[in-house]
Amino acid sequence: MTAGAEWGGAARVDAERLAALPPLPADEEGPVFEAPWQAQAFALAVKLSEEGHFTWKEWAGTLADELAAAEARGEPDDGSRYYHHWVAALERLVVDRRLSTSAALDDCKEAWADAYRHTPHGQPVELRRTD
């Protein structure tokens, strides 16, 4: 799955923006995603930047910090966890910009994990609102 397709309604990211990022899995058409959640995380970062919640330069710097922290922890640099670091950087900026809180993000993660654990194999996971 490449970024050439629509991902979450976000427009294709231009080459200059991609060049500002630490190296990401890509081919000649643009970013490559192994799973839909990776494309969704990519699109969310693009959209939040387009809406002015952070600049692309701030985004690239935060992602670079996350990748450097992973390297300092001794994590392998084989690209397999790239989008996990992408999500960690995105969460950090969302909390820093007060778009959400760490507690709210943790609650969402737990709700998703709980829904996943209680979903029969092969069925779509559905999160239900609790309010």
| Cα–Cα distance for residue pair 40/6, rounded to 1 Å | 10
pLDDT band at 69 (very low <50, low <70, confident <90, very high): very high
Region 37-65: mean pLDDT is 93
Query: Residues of the chain with pLDDT > 90: what percent?
Result: 50
Report how far residue 46's alpha carbon sits from residue 12's, in angstroms, rounded to the nearest whole number. Answer: 9
117/114 Cα distance (integer angstroms): 5
- At 2-48, the pLDDT tens digits run 444 444 434 455 666 656 565 666 677 777 788 888 999 999 999 99
What pLDDT, on a 0 to 100 scale, did the predictor assign at position 49?
93
Determine contact, residues 101/95, Cβ cutoff 8 Å: yes
- Cβ atoms of 120 and 63 closer than 8 Å: no
Q: What is the DSSP letter of 1?
A: -
